[in-house]
Amino acid sequence: MTAATSYQDRTHSLWDELADFQAAQADESLHHLMRGLCRLVNAQTANWIGAVRMDCHIPNDPVKGWRPRTVIHLDPFSQLHEAVQEQTRQLEEGEVDLTTVRNVADAGTFRANRLTDLVPPEWFESVYYRKYYLGTGRIDTIWAGIPVNENAETYFGIFRDTQHPPFTPGERDALAYALRGLKWFHRQQMLSRGLLVASTPLTPVERQVLSNLLNGKTEKEIAAIQSQSPHTTHEYVSAIYRKFGVKNRASLMALWLGKAA
């Protein structure tokens, strides 16, 4: 069996596993995918970013209005959380690293790149690489950008730690193959967080209510599960419908099935 065949067989098994998750299990399925991708290319951890293109008031914005709205880490720790917060603040101030600029330059097309595919050799001597990569125990990353529509994209960062060598072109291509065949999954992830219909994510409570709606619970059942009054639950349900631009549960479910609402 060739390396390429092995990658494909493992990828097809991962796709089959993802198809068994329910629409309401967005977090569980996302973590399962990230774990599977790490196993596929011998990476140690990963993250997922839901990004939207917003009206931008920064002159000559280097990332053309694209902003991360939700970041989910497979294995979060405080130093990593602080680093992401600092990077987000810098982005809002127009201080953007070359890796991000190069990734965003190809927005609207599927792409997967190692760090060395994005930047010149001297970048690896930069303060940014030393602080945000080596400083958090990472030596290399495969960044995959996946367009969901013209104003929404998902990003996967698959990280290798400093105890391992950088990724090979073959590993990058295997990861690209695994992610490119999952457009339905990427769309569901963005939908579950309200990122296809609003510039701000659903609130944590709205996400819990949404999960129960997708699981077929009635408003009365959701109120009991959430320890809310039926009136409060109805207000959350109405807010969710407004955010998704639908009028009822049937239309909401149609979004998850990829049909016009």
Identify which of 223, 195, 243 has the alpha carbon closest to the alpha carbon of residue 48. Answer: 195
Q: Which domains does the chain have, with CATH numbers?
A: 3-182 (3.30.450.80), 204-256 (1.10.10.10)
Q: Supply the pTM of this predicted model.
A: 0.86
- Starting at the edge strand that comes first in sequence, how are the strands of the sheet with 45-53 ordered? 66-73, 45-53, 152-161, 138-149, 111-114
Contact 49, 68 (CB under 8 A): yes
Task: Report the C-alpha gap between 261 and 249 in whole angstroms.
Answer: 10
Name every residue whose Cβ is closer than 8 Å to that of residue 69 and which is 6 or more positions away in sequence. Answer: 50, 51, 52, 193, 195, 199, 200, 201
Written as tens digits, the pLDDT of the chain (261 aa) is: 677 788 999 999 999 999 999 888 999 999 999 999 999 999 999 999 999 887 665 678 888 889 888 999 999 887 777 888 888 888 878 789 999 999 999 999 999 999 999 999 999 999 999 999 999 999 999 999 999 988 899 999 999 999 999 999 999 999 999 999 999 999 999 999 888 876 567 888 998 999 899 889 999 999 999 999 999 999 999 999 988 888 899 888 888 776 544
Tokens 């600029």 belong to residue:
101
Contact 103, 155 (CB under 8 A): yes
